[in-house]
Structure 1
């Protein structure tokens, strides 16, 4: 009984087809394809290349030189500073002349160009000398479509994905620039056998948005002829495409650089607060913790593959040391102000020298409270600091606080001068 629905469905479909159904069958004889096939002349022209030599160079004699011209049409690029790789997405225009492939247009209905796959004729063995992926050293060995002209000229523009080894220099991150060089040339032929040169222009940008994180600051190309130890009697020609990349620092300027400026101001501000207030100690502690958190953030943000430490990390590290010094001063100075011991001789001499100096005396009046100022005023300016009354400790701690401020300020100025290019 379970097979009854299946038998019924098959019988219903058969009756529906025999009865004419609700659709109409179209005979194959009634359908005609448009005449899109190539002409007989073009077929005859293409047939000339089916058995052409694809291994030997495109010359009539062995001592002749094949001139190959190159052009890079840049579409997009991606730079990975963690892996030190620049990936270039482009088209690679290659032009050379093969006199064996020329024909007389008048003998072929005035046809002056045809399209053929590259495996029908010889093509240059262009290799990547700067490739980071050895599996892509010969990207032009696969087949691609080319235009063959009646004078024997051949123009090919295959898609080209090149991965260049480029060492990242993060010293001035996030305002860093990197120079990457892509080098190509013949893998086996000498300069006498294959002369490689550049078209004009050699690099063409064919996209408005190359990369959102990096800006192509400059690009140039040049040709070189060199010798190698393996073949001292031969010369080899190759071309290089050089790209200078500059990072867009907008986002990092707001999230990394501006917080550094704020932390600098917080560190300097702690020295101008009353050392007896607990607010100063709290602010100095928050300042040190903030430095530590930002250093941890930069450690996760930047790759640890460089032989030079980025200046922004050095700045945060040294700023953290200065902030720790400010925290130490904020914790030590209140205890020194309450000390009942006599000042050491060197501290007493420094206090006396400040009191004898007019600018130092004005500084004392501006930094000490009224009670301490009155006690200092009663002390003879030329007297011995060791016999001075209690306010000598507040005077010395104020001088010490001011000295720490000056040292911190000069240290920050030095760090900023080293960071600015």
Structure 2
């Protein structure tokens, strides 16, 4: 029974204490009237004008929204948390029923004027009319500005799709130099506690810092990005290489099939389609360098054109007339056996061997150009495969 009475008294005391220290809207309204009487938001915060105002910042990255290399558009979602102290907005909590903090619109007080210096389209600053600022009794202001930041980021696509990029959000405090305002970051890195992983980019490193540029305080938030290349290897580089190598196998098709030229041209067109796809993804500018992948595909297409020409030449050799002799240099080049002939020294003319030997020699003469075409196909097949493989190896040796 005694314990119940004790608990009841304790609860009553707590309720009385809570009601004593709680405040209502009248108290907060009175606080606002007193704070903004004779307050001029055009004047920089800070009573001591001989020293710059200390502004502390941190940046939380939420997501990488977009990175379009062709247009150099880089978009991220994040939030800046900015704190400073304005002594004009301080108060004694005991005079306002123990109010220790309140919320107010950012339009009512002085703000650090930070404006983007590398916007993609329109110039913009931090915050909006919808943002509220936490104001504490000692004059401390906490300004949380969540935005979607669109900036220009010139992509270096030299090693695409194994490239690394550096993009940054740059802001300058126009009108406030180093003698007026000093900006520091609570962390030298971007805070990634709320970050959602991007499907296309890995964040290798980040940096947040302020510096003096042309007498103005500049705030920089930088990201070192590395492209996730697995998708591009499986969906672009390997299919492109396989299609290119497939063209070499045209030399294994029989010349009598009549499909060799059509097959070669079809595969060549497929390589051109891949080239078009890649060119659409890359920026038109050639600075600082053109993508090495573009050179690789250009090599594939050029070799494909050469393969097509060789196929046409091989088909022509296969259709040469039987009576046309094979030049000696071709026999040597392709290691072909010399035709058997028998010379009649009595008449000074060359005659073919009679009966069965004559028929065998005639058959050898009629098939000699076909032998040249077959040997030429073998040579082109091995050479083209070697050249495709060499290009592929050189490309990966450069980009990796």
Q: TM-score range by the shorter chain?
A: 0.7 to 0.9
2:297 is aligned with 1:316: yes
Tell me if the contact between 1:215 and 1:247 (Cα under 8 Å) persists in the aligned partners.
yes
State the Cα deviation string for residues 196-239 of structure 1 (Å, max 9, x = none): 11123652336454644x324234123243353xxxxxx43322
**Structure 1 residues 179 and 161: alpha-carbon distance in aligned structure 2, compared to 1, 3 A threshold:** same
**Structure 1 residues 294 and 42: alpha-carbon distance in aligned structure 2, compared to 1, 3 A threshold:** closer
TM-score normalised to structure 1 length:
0.71
- The partner residue of 1:305 within 284, 303, 314 is 284
Which runs of 5 or more structure 2 residues have no equivalent in the other structure?
A: 1-21, 339-356
Tell me if the contact between 1:198 and 1:239 (Cα under 8 Å) persists in the aligned partners.
no
1:152 Cα deviation (Å)?
1.9
Tell me if the contact between 2:115 and 2:171 (Cα under 8 Å) persists in the aligned partners.
yes
Aligned length: 348
Secondary structure of 2:123's counterpart equals helix
In 2, Cα distance between the equivalents of 1:227 and 1:204?
Answer: 25
Partner of 2:141: 154
State the Cα deviation string for residues 64-117 of structure 1 (Å, max 9, x = none): 211111122223322233321112222221111122322333444433222122
Partner of 2:93: 105
Shifted more, 399-408 versus 202-211: the winner is 202-211
Aligned-residue CA RMSD in angstroms? Answer: 3.4
1:174 Cα deviation (Å)?
4.0
Matches within 5 A, 1:276-355: 276-299=256-279, 301-302=280-281, 305-307=284-286, 308-339=289-320, 340-351=323-334
**Structure 1 residues 317 and 46: alpha-carbon distance in aligned structure 2, compared to 1, 3 A threshold:** same
**Structure 1 residues 123 and 335: alpha-carbon distance in aligned structure 2, compared to 1, 3 A threshold:** closer
State the Cα deviation string for residues 157-183 of structure 1 (Å, max 9, x = none): 022232111113344444444321111
Partner of 2:116: 128
Tell me if the contact between 2:84 and 2:141 (Cα under 8 Å) persists in the aligned partners.
yes
Matches within 5 A, 1:192-341: 192-200=179-187, 202-205=189-192, 207=194, 209=196, 211-212=198-199, 214-228=200-214, 235-249=215-229, 252-299=232-279, 301-302=280-281, 305-307=284-286, 308-339=289-320, 340-341=323-324
2:176 is aligned with 1:189: yes
Shifted more, 146-155 versus 271-280: the winner is 271-280
State the Cα deviation string for residues 23-50 of structure 1 (Å, max 9, x = none): xxxxxxxxxxxxx993544333222222
TM-score normalised to structure 2 length:
0.74
In 1, Cα distance between the equivalents of 2:264 and 2:79?
Answer: 58
Secondary structure of 2:187's counterpart equals strand
